Every structure is written in C-alpha cells, then in structure tokens.
C-alpha cells in the first residue's frame, strides 16, 4: 500500500511542478508584469505544497494506526476488564493470525469472531481512509497554492527557506542519533541497576547471567542477582585481548609508519601504503573466521608442541588477529604525524652528524609524540569496541584470567551472546547487555576525547 | 692517540650498525603487515574457490516405470506433478546404477551418495521438461556433501572407517561411478541462486546476496540525501554558534562509536519503541545508515571545503542568491568527492555484522527475500552463521561467501577510485 501511495504522491508532485510553472508563465504574459521569482520557483512552490504535508500526514497515520486498530479490535476484551496489558497484546497477535487464516482458538468464539471481523473491517476501511485523506489533502493544497500564485508572492524565498530548514533538520539527525543511543542505553541500564546494585556490577567477580534464567523470574534472590552480574571478568578479558592486540600492532604499526615516511622511496610507498590499508577495509567477520579457523588451531598446535595447555579459544589468537586488523589505524595516522614534522628539524639533526635512526628516535618521534599517542588511543578504542573477532574466536564463558593462552571473554562478546536470537525483555539478563553497552560507549568516548585533547594540547607548533 | 681514533671508529661502527639494524626492523615490520594481507587472501581463496564447483552424478531415470505413456506428463499441471508419489520411484532409479546390490544396508549407503533432495530434483526436471519426456531420461543429481568433498580432495580417504563420515562401501561405489564416467564436476550455479539450507550441498548465498543488496539500498536511500544535506548545511549555511558546534561534536563522536552500540540503538529504539519488523533489511538498513552518516558527512564536507571560494564569489557577483550559488555551482563541483565518500560508507555498511546480529538478521532463512520487509540474512551474517557449523562443506562455503563479499567491496572501492580520478577537478 505504502509504495503505491508514495508513488502517487510523487506523481502529483511532478504534475503540480509543471502546473505551477505554467500558471506563473501565464500570469506573467497576461499581466504584462514581472513576477518576483523565476517561473520554475513557482513550480517548486506548488510541488512542495503537494508533497510535503501529504508525506507528513502519511507518516503520522502509519505510526499511530496500529495503536488505534488494536484499541478498536480489542475494545470488547478491554471492556471485560479481566485482561492485563501483555495478555491483550498477545491476544491481538493471535487475532491477527486468525484473520490471516491460521486457526488458533477452540473456545471463546463469539468474541474472537467479532474481533476478527472487526480487524478485517478496520484494515480495509483504514486503508481507504488513508488514501482519501492523503491524496485529498495533497490535491486541496495544490489548488490552494496554485490560486495563491500572484505577482506579489516571492516563491523563491519560500523555496529557499524550505531547503534551509530541510538541510538543518538533516544535520540534526546526528544529534538525534546520539540522543537515541544515550536514551536507549540509559533507560535499560537504569532498570537494570534498580535490580542489581551498580557496585555489584562494576566490582563483582562472577559473570553468569544464564543462572538467572534457571529460576522463575518471580522469586529472584537479590544475592543471586548480585552473584550473576559481576562484570570484572569481562573488563579483564577485554583489557587482556586489547593488550595483546596493542602488543602486535604498536611496534608493527609504528615501525611501518617510520619506514613509510622516512626510508621508503616514493615508488615503494605508493604500492605498500594502499596494500596495508586493505587490512582496514576487510570486514571484521572475515578476521573472525580467519582467527577461529586458522590462527586459533595454529596457536594451539604450537603451544601443545611446546608442552603448554592452550585453550582452543585462546585470548592470544583473538588478540593477535585483532592486532593485525588495527595495524593500519596506527600506521596511517602515525605516518601522517611523522611526515608533518617540519623538514628543518630533520636537516638540523643531520647537520649535527646524527644518523637517520638517531634523528628519528631522538628528534622526530619526540616531536610527533602527541599525534602518535593519539593514534594509539584511537586504536585501543577500536580494539575495545571490536565485536566479530572476539565473538567468533574468543571464549564465551566468563572466567577471570590473565593467561593469554586461556579463553577470555569480552564486553562485546557478552552483549552478542545475550542479545542474539530471541530475547525476553524485562529480564535483568537482557538489561545487563545494555549496561555493558553503556560502559562500552562511555569508555570509547572517553578514550577518543582524551586522544583529541592529547593531540590538541601537546602538539607543538612549528611556524 | 691511536686509542682515541680506534674508539671513535668503534663508536661510529656501532652507530652505523644500529642504524642498519633499525632499518631492518622497519622493513621487517612492513613486510610482516604485507605478509598478513597475502596470507589472509591466500587462506580464504585456497579454501573457498572449490565451492564454486559442485559434484553431480549422472542417473538414468526410467520414467516409463512411473506412468504408462510419458506423453501424459505434458497434460499434467505442476500441481499434479507435485502430487505424484515419486519417492520409491526415485530411489529405484538410483538403485539402477548398481543393479546387483541386494542388501538393504548397501542400498541405503548408495542413496546417501546423493543429496537428500534427489526426489525433488527429479520432480523439478519433470516439471520443466514435461512436454518432451522420453521413456528414459539422463538426469544430473547433486551429490551429497561428503561425496562432493571427497571428489574435491578436501576430505581424507585414508582415515579409519569409523572416523570418517563416508564409508568404505560408499567410496567403492563412488570410485566405480568415476570409472564409468558418470561423475562430473560443474559450475555451482545453485550456490549463487539458493537460500540457506541445513544441508551444505544445497546451501546457497543467493538469499544473503539479495538481503545485502536490499540493506545497502536502504542505506543509500537514507544516508545519501541526509548526509549530503547535512554536510551542505554545516559547511555552507551554518552560523558559528553553539548549536553548530554541538552538531559537529556529535558527528565526530558518532564516527568513533563502536558499531555494536548502533545495534543496541536499533534493538532498543527501532524495534522495541517504533515496532518495525525484526530481522528485515529495512531495519538493518536504518541502523547501518545511522552508522555510515558520519563518514558521508565528513567526506562531503571535505570536498565542499576544497571548492575554491572564487566559484562561490563568481556566482554571487552575477546576482545569484546564496542558495543558488551553493546548489548550482558549489555542490556540482563537490559531487565526485561526495559520491566517493558515499561509496566508501556503503562499503563499510556492506561489511558490517555486529549491529545486524542484535536486530535479528541472523535468522535461518531458506527463501530468497522478495522485499526489504522480508526476514533475511546478509553476506557477512551468512559468514558468521556458517562459520559456526562444523561440517566441512560449510567451511568451503564460508570462504566462498567471503570471496564474494570481498569481491563486492573491491568493486565498490574501485568505483570510488575511478570516480575520483575521472571527475575530480584540480584547482
């Protein structure tokens, strides 16, 4: 339905553009007076009146329709007063299914039949009503705006004003997204903390949310809850894996950046730089697959060859592959920073007889340090927020460990484990994922903020 | 005196040696990074390319056993053919490969050389050729995954029998069929067309390719106009005030938010508050649009900033309004940059998995989706789903899916580079 209706509205819009344009031209020739704007602006003016209010009304109707339909269909049941909110919504889904021809009920047929009939009736009526309202509104406004065109109307100003408002609204989407993120995370997190004390979450040593599932939701013991949602093992696991990743990517990334900016000939640079940046463009699920199927068995075999016990989901494998993934983040950013150190510093150092290495280590790196540290922090925030590699290659069970050969789990892994598939809302288990998400959001935001501040505050200006 | 000179030479040598070592470290680090690109690609390609071929076994099907006169098929509707009971008939056709077998166990083993949908395949053949069915027709039936893997050499034949999924007698059958020239190896078109399946030999990426296309389409429709309009506002019209600063800070922050947080946003707001349907490309597309918007806005702003002020001033000087100058002169010049940014953003969205897991695009979907409102998977999610399956056939299929995904990404990035090269103006 929506698609046809929107096409119709757009068709009306295009037609009314030509109508408006034509009317403006006629007006100009018949009155022998100049209009305030070029004639096509009148076309746009009419077309805007035709399309914009109609689309807004359509949006409103579609978002509120289902609520009213549900109220209407269930009115008999609501009048009985013996149903709770959730029972009612369940009932509505069942009625919907019955209307589609799936038989679900054995008893209660009069009421149900009535409701099904009501649903069929209201669905058809509401569809017709939507068509009439939207198209009627559009048509009326086209007529109104066509008659509104006269020599004094400056349609250009109106159209430009509209565009400006549209652009501004689009730029507000960023704010709305942030607000949406914060709202959705905070809402569930606060509900979570009303059941589990925040201190237990932040400092508890035991993470086993599946335990909450075992008991009936009604008789949850608060001590039980506290014991199930201690997030320290997750923080530790996240830290461990990010540390391993940084151990791989910092030396490799930094040395690569130094080679690119100081040693490599332009030809090598032109080839090698894009190839290394491919690493940043590969989807993370590919790294996850690679880590789980190739690197993890390899690490295990090597470890067993050396007589160590290695878990098949070792933190080392996940961290190592994650390290490879973030090499280009460090190398590109550091490369830029090192290159932007002024040439005079290099020449000064060479003039004193320093070798290239001495120049790099003692002059260039200290000068570029804020930028390099900034790139490290950004890489850490990447590593902490990375999901697929750890979901596929790291462990799923929380265990407090500092051994890189052991299985460790991370914040992101647990979010996915909890929320994948069907979730029941209103359970502390589901809400705990949002609390983890909020933690992640705050930490990555803080890291980025610090990184920016470091770069801004400590960068020396050479002018 | 000579002591001093020697000391100097020694220290100089030391310094030069450490210079050499440092250089070697640097080259080593870069080679390490380059090597992993190579290893990654080789690893995926070597295990994935064989999924683009499949093993089929030629079977003579005596249709005369099903019906007295094969011309009668042409009068049947598809429904009639669907109602025909063909299971034992199809089995008998397969037994015809080895007419000497008597034991029930061996017969069962023979049937297991084929995919479990052999009856369906014969039925489909009948449906599409019903007007000219001969008494006996030669049909190529899909081999089971185990046979497929043995034929491709991916499965070790020299293991103990009880550790192997394929039994000795089946290998005997198979080798005999190979000797008789009945086994062939063909391009795996069904892999590209079909949806997911519990049987590796029948599973395809068609459903997830379409799912990915729908998702990307939604992302394009939403994020391209919104991103470009927002960039135009911020770069050309926004007054220098707190609101503008706040918007800019927000955009920069969003670019750094982990993708899984967008999944939580989708779950909390788009699914639970707005009540849009779960598991659909529409919701996936909305979530990914919010994620790619910062990329598009930042790229478009950069390319708007690169347009020289003389263009704006020229337009203003001949009497254009600010809006006209921007829309008619600045934006067209900045368009290649904006397009490049959009394509790169879309490529990011195409490879993204984590947010889709949270909004339920991990459902097991057999049908190829028809609209963005049907439940579906996407290519990266398919990789995740199959990588969880232990069977050998899925490893090969996963790698092949990754190859397709990387192929799409390379194409998109190539398009971005070409657009930049062809249309970018240097001032």
Task: Please check whether residue A39 is in contact with residue A28, taking contact to mean a CB–CB distance below 8 angstroms.
Answer: yes
A356 and A442 co-located in one domain? yes
On whether residue A463 sits in a domain, the answer given is no
- Mean pLDDT score of chain A: 86
Longest dimension (CA), chain B: 115
Summarised one tens digit per residue, pLDDT across range B211-247 is: 999 999 999 999 999 999 999 999 999 998 899 999 9
Would you call A318 exposed, middle or buried from its count of C-beta atoms within 10 A (0-12, 13-18, 19+)? buried
Residues of B in contact with A445 (CB under 8 A): 253, 256-257
Residues of A in contact with B273 (CB under 8 A): 184
The pLDDT value given to residue B344: 92
Residues of B in contact with A258 (CB under 8 A): 26
On whether residue A453 sits in a domain, the answer given is yes
Write phi, then psi, for A458 (nearest 5 degrees). Answer: -100, -5
Residues of A in contact with B375 (CB under 8 A): none
> To the nearest whole percent, how much of chain B has pLDDT over 70?
99
Which of A178, A183, A388 faces B253 most closely, judged by CB atoms? A178
On whether residue A185 sits in a domain, the answer given is no
A143 and A252 co-located in one domain? no
State the DSSP string of B302-366.
HHHHTS-HHHHHHHHHTT--HHHIIIIIIHHHHHHHHHHHHHHHHHHHHH--HHHHHTTTT----
Residue scoring higher pLDDT (A249 or B91): A249
Which of A173, A388, A434 faces B264 most closely, judged by CB atoms? A434
CA dist., res. A112 & res. A93, Å (int): 12
The pLDDT value given to residue A223: 55
Order of strands across the sheet with B183-187? B136-142, B53-62, B183-187
The pLDDT value given to residue A398: 81
Cα B263 to Cα A171, B56, B126, B268, B344: the distances in Å are 21, 42, 46, 9, 20
CA dist., res. A401 & res. B400, Å (int): 36
The pLDDT value given to residue A213: 53
Torsion sign across C-alpha atoms A57, A62, A68, A72: positive
Which of B19, B37, B234 faces A279 most closely, judged by CB atoms? B37
Task: Please check whether residue A359 is in contact with residue A349, taking contact to mean a CB–CB distance below 8 angstroms.
Answer: yes
Question: What are A194-199's contacts with CB under 8 Å, separation 24+?
Answer: A195/A220, A195/A222, A195/A225, A195/A428, A195/A431, A196/A225, A196/A226, A196/A229, A196/A428, A196/A432, A197/A226
Which of A164, A420, A445 faces B357 most closely, judged by CB atoms? A420
Cα of A387 to nearest chain B Cα, Å: 6
Which of A180, A184, A275 faces B34 most closely, judged by CB atoms? A275
CA dist., res. A373 & res. A366, Å (int): 11
Would you report the helix, strand and coil content of chain A in percent, each value rounded to 5?
80, 0, 20
Provide CATH 1.10.3720.10 ranges for chain B.
206-423
CA dist., res. A190 & res. A463, Å (int): 51
CA dist., res. A286 & res. A454, Å (int): 33
* CB-based contact B267 A419, cutoff 8 Å: yes
How does DSSP classify residue B269? I
* CB-based contact B256 A258, cutoff 8 Å: no
* CB-based contact A441 B257, cutoff 8 Å: yes
ipTM above 0.95, yes or no: no
On whether residue A372 sits in a domain, the answer given is yes
A285 and A406 co-located in one domain? yes
Residues of A in contact with B261 (CB under 8 A): 181, 185, 385, 437, 440-441
Which of A253, A292, A378 faces B387 most closely, judged by CB atoms? A292
Residue scoring higher pLDDT (A230 or A163): A163
Closest residue in B to A447 (Cα–Cα): B256
Summarised one tens digit per residue, pLDDT across range B24-62 is: 999 999 999 999 999 999 999 998 888 898 999 988 888
Tell which of A127, A153, A179 closes a domain. A153
Residue scoring higher pLDDT (B40 or A420): B40
State the DSSP string of A40-88.
HHHHHHHHHHHHHHHHHHHHHHHHHHHHHHHHHHTHHHHHH----HHHH
Task: Please check whether residue B22 is in contact with residue A251, taking contact to mean a CB–CB distance below 8 angstroms.
Answer: no
Summarised one tens digit per residue, pLDDT across range B253-273 is: 898 899 999 999 999 888 888
Closest residue in A to B297 (Cα–Cα): A171
CA dist., res. A454 & res. A370, Å (int): 6
* In the predicted structure, residue A19 carries a pLDDT above the cut 80: yes
Closest residue in A to B247 (Cα–Cα): A175
A382 and A251 co-located in one domain? yes
* In the predicted structure, residue A422 carries a pLDDT above the cut 70: no
* CB-based contact A412 B354, cutoff 8 Å: yes
The pLDDT value given to residue A214: 47
Cα of A438 to nearest chain B Cα, Å: 8
Cα of B72 to nearest chain A Cα, Å: 36
| Structure token digits, residue A41 | 């602006």
| Structure token digits, residue A344 | 């005079």
A402 and A278 co-located in one domain? yes
Best of B16, B264, B295, B407 to substitute, by most chain A Cβ atoms within 10 angstroms, is B264
Range of the domain at A71: 2-153
Cα of B240 to nearest chain A Cα, Å: 14
Helix (H) or strand (E) run with residue B296 in it: helix B281-305
Tell which of A153, A179, A210 closes a domain. A153
DSSP β-bridge partners for residue B142: B56
* In the predicted structure, residue A307 carries a pLDDT above the cut 90: no
* In the predicted structure, residue B410 carries a pLDDT above the cut 80: yes
* In the predicted structure, residue A390 carries a pLDDT above the cut 80: yes
Name the domain count of chain A.
2
* In the predicted structure, residue B139 carries a pLDDT above the cut 90: no
Cα B379 to Cα B241, B341, B372, B382, B409: the distances in Å are 43, 22, 15, 5, 11
Query: Of A388-402, B67-81, B128-142, B401-415, which gets the smallest average pLDDT?
Result: B67-81
How does DSSP classify residue B374? S
A137 and A236 co-located in one domain? no
* In the predicted structure, residue B285 carries a pLDDT above the cut 80: yes
* CB-based contact A419 B358, cutoff 8 Å: yes
* In the predicted structure, residue A330 carries a pLDDT above the cut 50: yes
* In the predicted structure, residue A315 carries a pLDDT above the cut 50: yes
Of B389, B387, B388, B381, the C-alpha closest to B358 is B381
CA dist., res. B100 & res. A358, Å (int): 83
Task: Summarize the confidence of residues B324-328 as an average pLDDT.
Answer: 94
Between chain A and chain B, how many beta carbons pairs sit less than 8 Å apart?
246
A143 and A265 co-located in one domain? no
Q: What is the pTM of this model?
A: 0.89
Helix (H) or strand (E) run with residue B185 in it: strand B183-187
Q: Which residues contact A384 (CB under 8 A, 6 or more apart)?
A: A238, A242, A411, A412, A440, A443, A444, A447, B258
* CB-based contact A256 B262, cutoff 8 Å: no
Best of B21, B31, B36 to substitute, by most chain A Cβ atoms within 10 angstroms, is B36
* In the predicted structure, residue A17 carries a pLDDT above the cut 90: yes
Residues of A in contact with B272 (CB under 8 A): 425
Length of chain A in terms of residues written: 463
Which of B28, B264, B384 faces A285 most closely, judged by CB atoms? B384
Which of B33, B261, B323 faces A163 most closely, judged by CB atoms? B323
Tell which of A153, A188, A213 closes a domain. A153
> To the nearest whole percent, how much of chain B has pLDDT over 90?
46
Cα A233 to Cα A225, A282, A435, B256: the distances in Å are 16, 30, 15, 25
Torsion sign across C-alpha atoms A332, B248, A385, B207: negative
Best of B18, B255, B265, B278 to substitute, by most chain A Cβ atoms within 10 angstroms, is B265
Q: Which residues contact B238 (CB under 8 A, 6 or more apart)?
A: A171, B244, B247
Cα of A322 to nearest chain B Cα, Å: 12
A415 and A291 co-located in one domain? yes
Best of A3, A328, A388 to substitute, by most chain B Cβ atoms within 10 angstroms, is A388
* In the predicted structure, residue B330 carries a pLDDT above the cut 90: yes
The pLDDT value given to residue A458: 79
B73 torsion bin: left (phi>0), alpha (psi -120 to 50), beta (else): alpha
On whether residue A28 sits in a domain, the answer given is yes
Summarised one tens digit per residue, pLDDT across range A138-184 is: 999 999 998 888 888 888 999 999 999 999 999 999 899 999 999 99
DSSP β-bridge partners for residue B57: B141, B183
* CB-based contact B253 A448, cutoff 8 Å: yes
On whether residue A198 sits in a domain, the answer given is no
A239 and A138 co-located in one domain? no
Length of chain B in terms of residues written: 427
* Domain B206-423 in this protein, CATH class: mainly alpha
Of A403, A391, A217, A385, the C-alpha closest to A303 is A403
Which of B16, B275, B350 faces A355 most closely, judged by CB atoms? B16
pLDDT-derived band of residue A425, with 50, 70 and 90 as boundaries?
low
Task: Summarize the confidence of residues B60-83 as an average pLDDT.
Answer: 79
CA dist., res. A91 & res. A87, Å (int): 6
The pLDDT value given to residue A463: 58
CA dist., res. B192 & res. B242, Å (int): 52
On whether residue A163 sits in a domain, the answer given is no
- Mean pLDDT score of chain B: 88
Summarised one tens digit per residue, pLDDT across range A63-120 is: 888 788 888 887 777 777 777 777 777 777 777 777 776 666 555 567 777 777 888 8
* CB-based contact A184 B265, cutoff 8 Å: yes
A276 and A140 co-located in one domain? no
Identify the CATH number of the domain in which residue A409 sits: 1.10.3720.10
On whether residue A443 sits in a domain, the answer given is yes
Summarised one tens digit per residue, pLDDT across range B297-325 is: 999 999 999 999 999 999 999 999 999 99
């Amino acid at each position: 339905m929506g698609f046809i209706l929107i096409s119709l509205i757009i068709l009306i819009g295009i037609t009314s553009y030509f109508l408006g344009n034509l009317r403006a031209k006629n007006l100009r020739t018949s009155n022998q007076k100049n209009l305030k704007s070029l004639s096509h602006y009148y076309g746009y003016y009419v077309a805007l009146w035709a399309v914009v209010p109609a689309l807004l009304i359509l949006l409103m109707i579609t978002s509120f329709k289902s609520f009213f339909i549900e109220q209407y269909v269930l009115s008999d049941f609501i009048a009985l007063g013996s149903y709770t909110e959730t029972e009612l919504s369940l009932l509505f889904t069942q009625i919907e299914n019955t209307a589609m021809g799936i038989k679900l009920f054995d008893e209660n047929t009069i009421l149900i039949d009535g409701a099904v009939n009501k649903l069929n009736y209201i669905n058809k009526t509401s569809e017709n009503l939507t068509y009439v309202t939207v198209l009627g509104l559009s048509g009326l406004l086209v007529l109104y705006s066509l008659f509104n065109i006269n020599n004094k109307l400056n349609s250009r100003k109106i159209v430009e004003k509209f565009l400006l408002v549209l652009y501004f609204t689009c730029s507000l989407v960023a704010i709305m997204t942030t607000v949406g993120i914060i709202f959705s995370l905070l809402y569930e997190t606060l509900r979570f903390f009303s059941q589990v004390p925040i201190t237990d979450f932040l400092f508890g040593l035991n993470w086993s949310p599946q335990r909450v599932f075992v008991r009936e939701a009604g008789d949850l013991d608060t001590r039980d809850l506290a014991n199930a949602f201690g997030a320290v093992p997750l923080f530790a696991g996240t830290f461990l894996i990010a540390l391993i990743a940084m151990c791989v990517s910092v030396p490799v990334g930094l040395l690569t950046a130094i080679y690119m900016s100081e040693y490599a000939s332009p030809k090598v640079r032109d080839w090698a730089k894009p190839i290394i940046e491919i690493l940043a463009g590969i989807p993370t699920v590919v790294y996850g697959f690679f880590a789980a199927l190739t690197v993890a068995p390899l690490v295990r075999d090597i470890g067993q060859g050396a007589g160590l016990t290695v878990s098949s989901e070792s933190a080392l494998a996940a961290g190592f592959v994650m390290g490879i993934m973030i090499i280009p983040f460090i190398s590109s950013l550091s490369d830029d920073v090192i290159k932007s150190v002024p040439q005079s510093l290099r020449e000064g150092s060479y003039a004193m007889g320093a070798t290239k290495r001495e120049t790099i280590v003692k002059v260039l790196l200290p000068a570029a340090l804020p930028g390099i540290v900034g790139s490290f922090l950004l890489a850490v925030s990447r590593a902490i927020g990375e999901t697929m590699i750890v979901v596929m290659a790291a462990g799923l069970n929380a265990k407090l460990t500092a051994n890189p050969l052991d299985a460790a789990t991370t914040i992101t892994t647990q979010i996915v484990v909890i929320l994948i598939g069907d979730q029941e809302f209103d359970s502390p288990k589901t809400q705990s994922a949002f609390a983890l998400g909020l933690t992640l959001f705050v930490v990555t935001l803080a890291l980025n903020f610090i990184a920016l501040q470091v770069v801004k505050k400590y960068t020396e200006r050479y002018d | 005196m000579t002591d001093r000179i020697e000391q100097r030479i020694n220290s100089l040598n030391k310094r030069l040696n450490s210079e050499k070592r440092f250089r070697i470290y640097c080259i080593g680090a870069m080679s390490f990074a380059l090597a992993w690109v190579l290893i990654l690609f080789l690893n995926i390609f070597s295990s994935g390319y064989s999924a683009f071929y499949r093993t089929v076994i030629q079977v003579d099907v005596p249709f005369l056993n099903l019906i007295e006169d094969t011309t009668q098929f042409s009068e049947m509707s598809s429904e009639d053919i669907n109602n025909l009971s063909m299971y034992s008939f199809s089995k008998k056709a397969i037994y015809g490969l080895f007419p000497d077998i008597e034991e029930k166990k061996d017969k069962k083993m023979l049937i297991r050389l084929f995919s479990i949908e052999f009856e369906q395949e014969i039925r489909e053949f009948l449906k599409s050729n019903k007007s000219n069915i001969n008494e006996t027709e030669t049909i190529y039936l899909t081999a089971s995954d185990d046979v497929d893997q043995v034929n491709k050499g991916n499965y070790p034949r020299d293991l103990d029998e009880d550790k192997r999924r394929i039994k000795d007698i089946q290998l005997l059958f198979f080798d005999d069929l190979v000797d008789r020239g009945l086994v062939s190896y063909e391009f795996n078109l069904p892999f590209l067309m079909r949806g997911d399946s519990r049987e590796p030999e029948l599973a395809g990426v068609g459903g997830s390719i379409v799912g990915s296309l729908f998702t990307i389409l939604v992302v394009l429709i939403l994020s391209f106009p919104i991103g470009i309009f927002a960039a135009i506002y911020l770069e050309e019209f926004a007054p220098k005030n707190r609101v503008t600063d706040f918007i800019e800070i927000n955009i920069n922050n969003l670019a750094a938010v982990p993708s899984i947080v967008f999944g939580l946003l989708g779950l909390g707001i788009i699914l639970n508050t707005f009540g849009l349907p779960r598991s659909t490309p529409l919701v996936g597309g909305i979530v990914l649009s919010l994620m790619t918007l910062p990329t598009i806005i930042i790229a478009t702003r950069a390319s708007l900033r690169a347009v020289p002020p003389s263009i704006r001033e020229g337009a203003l000087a001949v009497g254009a309004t600010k809006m006209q100058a921007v829309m008619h002169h600045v934006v067209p010049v900045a368009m290649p940059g904006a397009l490049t940014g959009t394509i790169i953003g879309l490529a990011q969205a195409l490879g993204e998995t984590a947010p889709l897991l949270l909004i339920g695009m991990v459902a097991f979907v057999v049908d190829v989706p028809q609209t963005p409102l049907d439940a579906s998977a996407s290519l990266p999610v398919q990789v995740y789903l199959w990588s969880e399956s232990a069977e050998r056939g899925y490893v090969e299929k996963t790698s092949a899916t990754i190859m397709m995904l990387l192929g799409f990404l390379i194409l998109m990035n190539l398009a971005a580079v070409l657009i930049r090269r062809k249309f970018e103006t240097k001032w």
